[in-house]
């Protein structure tokens, strides 16, 4: 049975003290594999914002709004998680699901850069938002 996902996005910030290419590499971990992405309608947007002190913050957002693509991407994300993490999310879904039916997961950006998918509750994360049906 396909997961009941309508759309999905991943957002990451590259702050002035960070190397944008390294941040993009971290984002790559949570994106579907390149060969799958070629078959999907996946958009990637780069926006430059200003921080409180005027320093540039680069916001990179990838999204899939087509249901079939979103579901494939969600399956990839779940495949990255350890069994214990999946169980934890399911048992504590109230902590991950908002009132609009959006599941929020956060992956540690530094660990992702090193190729390790680690859920995180702190700062310096890649934010995943999956809209449920």
Residue 1 pLDDT more than 80? Answer: no
Task: Put residue 54 in one of left, alpha, beta given phi > 0 → left and psi -120 to 50 → alpha.
Answer: left
pLDDT per residue as tens digits for the range 40-87 = 999 999 999 998 889 999 999 999 999 999 999 999 999 999 999 999
Fold of 5-132: 50s Ribosomal Protein L5; Chain: A, (3.30.1440)
Confidence of residue 122 (pLDDT cuts 50, 70, 90): confident
Above 80 in pLDDT, residue 34? yes
Collapsed DSSP state (helix, strand, coil) of residue 29: helix
What pTM does this model have?
A: 0.92
């Amino acid at each position: 049975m396909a997961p009941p996902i309508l759309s999905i996005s991943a957002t990451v910030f590259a702050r002035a003290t960070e190397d944008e290419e390294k941040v993009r590499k971290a984002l790559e971990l949570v994106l579907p594999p390149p060969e799958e992405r070629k078959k999907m309608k996946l958009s990637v947007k780069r926006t430059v914002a200003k921080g409180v002190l005027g320093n540039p913050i680069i916001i990179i957002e990838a999204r899939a709004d087509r249901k079939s693509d979103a579901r494939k991407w969600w399956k990839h994300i779940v495949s990255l998680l350890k069994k214990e993490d999946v169980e934890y999310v399911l048992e504590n879904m109230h902590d991950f699901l908002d009132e609009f039916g959006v599941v929020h997961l956060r992956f540690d950006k530094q660990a992702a850069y090193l190729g390790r998918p680690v859920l995180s509750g702190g700062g310096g994360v890649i934010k995943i938002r999956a809209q449920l049906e």
